[in-house]
Amino acid sequence: MYPTMTRRVNRLTLMNRIRQNLLPHLARPGRGFWGWLALQVMIRRNQRMNGWGVDLLMLQPSDHVLEVGFGSGATIKRMARIVMSGKVAGVDHSEVAVERAARRNWRGIHAGRVELTFANAVSLPYEAEQFDKVLSTGTLYYLTDPVVVLQEIRRVLKPGGRVAIMVRAPAALKKNPVFASGQYPTYEADEVLGLLHEAGFEQAWIADSPPDGTIIGVMGVK
């Protein structure tokens, strides 16, 4: 093989190794370097998707908001700045994510406006009809039973409450070897819509996606 070709192959192999180590930590950040890196990647890569999700929810200052799968907690902090007289809650099934997000949101937690819970979203630790808005970004692919989680989200929403489910489009994930291998499912917008309908959201729709079409947002109203 020519030296330049060898270098390219080595670089590709290295990138694939990095992705393979990183991906399990995107599904559930663990301790150590890869868990730390996964949380940094989420902050950078999901910033736009989270910003769009927050815009779609049209948060009001008095809203009681829930984030399912908050990862780094950066969006919890962002939402807490908007819901000044309301509350932001979050669940994540990674202890490391809960610890890091708690550090990032210590002021809000201290003020009693932010509450972060270590929990699996298949059984949300809340009474029914608590929240005005629910956001979940980049988490759907990692859920083993997405309809059960969406039913739980519907249960904890107040009547008239809204959910925004944000995912990266399958076309944007196809270069990623772990998604390409089918280890985690990817979802087209109409498939996310189908899941919301299946979970009981009679009123649901696909939001107009930003021009490049790499991210998908689907809304539901209880």
Ligand X SMILES: C[S@@+](CC[C@H](N)C(=O)[O-])C[C@H]1O[C@@H](n2cnc3c(N)ncnc32)[C@H](O)[C@@H]1O
Applying CB under 6 A, does 57 fall inside the site for ligand X? no
70 near ligand X, rule: CB under 6 A? yes
Report the length, in residues, of the chain: 222
Q: Tell me, by CB under 6 A, how many residues bind ligand X.
A: 24
Told to check if 220 binds ligand X by CB under 6 A, we report no
Residues 141-200 touching ligand X, rule: CB under 6 A, are 142-143
Q: List the one residue out of 159, 168, 207 whose CA is nearest residue 186.
A: 168
Helix (H, G, I), strand (E, B) or coil at 116: strand
* Coil, strand or helix at 136: strand
CA 194, CA 59: separation in Å to the nearest integer?
Answer: 25
Q: Which of 80, 91, 192, 193 binds ligand X (CB under 6 A)?
A: 91
Give the pairing type, strands 203-206 and 157-168.
unpaired
d(CA 211, CA 214) in angstroms, rounded, equals 8
Q: Quick check: 104 and 72 in contact, CB under 8 A?
A: yes
| Residue in the structure block whose two tokens are 């992705």 | 19
Cβ of residue 126: shortest distance to ligand X, in angstroms?
13
Q: Which stretch binds ligand X (CB under 6 A): 16-24, 117-125, 192-200, 212-220?
A: 117-125
Closer to ligand X at the Cβ: 105 or 139?
139
Least spacing, CB of residue 125 vs ligand X, in Å: 11
**Binding positions for ligand X, rule: CB under 6 A:** 26-29, 42, 46, 50, 69-72, 91-94, 97, 120-122, 137-139, 142-143
